[in-house]
Chains A and B, each alone.
Chain A
Amino acid sequence: EPEVTQTPSHQVTQMGQEVILRCVPISNHLYFYWYRQILGQKVEFLVSFYNNEISEKSEIFDDQFSVERPDGSNFTLKIRSTKLEDSAMYFCASSKGRPEAFFGQGTRLTVV
């Protein structure tokens, strides 16, 4: 069964460093999303991406964040100058336009 894959599964970075989280959405999907989940908290929407551009973003998704679809298969989330409070599980999701969004296994980001 097709699935959304995310790498790495765990990333540890020093405060102030830049990180890139990578996602490979399901191949025939058109809509891509990034969510984050601080440990034990709810899932929070960051950004949605369609037709090679951001279609919606939340208040959390400020200038520190950017997304890219560099090669037609990967979908990346870049976090510049990471802060301690950026530590969370970051989930990538994709959908075909149908209601069901498929989530990846997540990347646990730890900022130290």
Chain B
Amino acid sequence: GQQVMQIPQYQHVQEGEDFTTYCNSSTTLSNIQWYKQRPGGHPVFLIQLVKSGEVKKQKRLTFQFGEAKKNSSLHITATQTTDVGTYFCAGRRQAGTALIFGKGTTLSVSS
């Protein structure tokens, strides 16, 4: 079945450093979404990417969707302690089908 892999599993950074998490799918995706889950919380939608090669920015967060629509990345510039949490990518084979989540990257930030 379809798998979505995410690396690294854990990342610790000093406040102000950059952070990147990578997501790879075994199959071409219709779209990919990113979610953030704070410790003890629930997943919160961040963004959806649909087009091949798409790049979207939200303040210090930059999201990319690969040309082949099989990989994606989330880059955070100058991390802050509020960025702490687990970042999940989730992809769909076809529009309207179930989201398949990656295992997530847990980010910790020390000040």
User: Which A residues are closer than 8 A to B by beta carbons?
Assistant: 33, 35, 41-45, 48, 55-56, 58-59, 91, 99-106
User: Which B residues are closer than 8 A to A by beta carbons?
Assistant: 1, 31, 33, 35, 41-45, 48, 88, 90, 96-104
Given A45-B100, A105-B41, 11 new contacts (CB under 8 A): A35-B101, A42-B101, A42-B102, A43-B104, A45-B99, A55-B96, A56-B98, A100-B45, A101-B33, A101-B99, A103-B43
Residues of chain B within 8 A (CB-CB) of A48 are 98
For A57, the closest partner residue in chain B by CB is B98
Complex Cα–Cα for A59 and B100 (A): 12
Assess the A56–B97 pair: CB atoms within 8 A: yes
Complex Cα–Cα for A91 and B48 (A): 20
Assess the A42–B43 pair: CB atoms within 8 A: no
